[in-house]
Amino acid sequence: MTKTFMARIAAVAGGLLLSFAALAAGGGDLQQAGTDLNDRASLQRGAQLYMNYCAGCHSLKYLRYSRMADDLGLTEDEVMNHLNLTGAKFGEHIVSSMPAEQAAKWFGQVPPDLSLITRVRGSDWVYTYMKSFYLDDTRPLGWNNTLFPNASMPNPLWKQQGLQHAVFGESDPATGDTLVEHLEVSTPGTQSAAEFDQTVRDLTAFLEYAGEPAALKRQGIGVWVILFLSFLTLLAWLLKNEYWRDVH
């Protein structure tokens, strides 16, 4: 009885380990996003980048412009004059103005809503994805991506990053395809490698925020909850002393 039980536990543990290993292998080498949701300037820069380079194709359908303004410390004027490029009202959701059918025709895929992207894929994945585009003549739009092979999205930040090309290594024994060994910037962009890392970090931080806008407020509330609970503990302790004085 116990033996089979132990064997089962061992099997489950082994299975878990295997699936973790598979996950790690499937994800490729992810780079650390290093985002900081307490860094408001980073979130503001991320919002600006998102509106300029992503919002044309992707939506954040659960987030309203007004909510974003409130959370990131932006005025209605700043949002409506500099960030909202779609003509939507201040209280409306951040929805791309690109018609889905057109998008499907142009890209072969409808650009997905990015509301939950950092929760589904993880921040490190999004960060690495944005840095992994390279030129590839064999793709319809001329771009490929090492993390998401044959992604049908062109690199929106090529001006900042510069043009990357692939340096190929050995071929895959299973498929015979030549494998990308690493990527190299062949034509420099307007930003240095470190500056571009920060750009992608800001963008990832903004998407992380957009995935859970309440997280910003919750962190602020947490401090008050702890203070309140400490106060309550003190009160209970004083009360206990008060009762026990009569008993002794």
Say how many CA atoms lie within 13 Å of 168 toward its Cβ.
9
CB of 66 to ligand HEC, least distance (A): 22
Asked if 60 is part of the footprint of ligand HEC (rule: CB under 6 A), the reply reads no
- CA-based nearest residue to 89, from 120, 65, 116: 65
The minimum distance between CB 206 and ligand HEC, in angstroms, equals 9
Q: Counting contacts by CB under 6 A, is residue 112 touching ligand HEC?
A: yes
Two tokens at 112?
């997905």
Which residues fall within 8 angstroms of residue 66, CB to CB, at 6 or more apart? 76, 79, 90, 91
CB 133 within 8 A of CB 124: no
69 touches 75 (CB < 8 A): yes
Q: How far is the CB of 227 from ligand HEC (least distance, A)?
A: 38
Residue 203 binds to ligand HEC (criterion: CB under 6 A): yes
**Of 74, 79, 151, 180, the one binding ligand HEC by CB under 6 A:** 151
CB of 54 to ligand HEC, least distance (A): 3
Tell me which of 33, 51, 72, 157 binds ligand HEC, using CB under 6 A.
Answer: 157
Is residue 126 near ligand HEC by the rule CB under 6 A?
yes
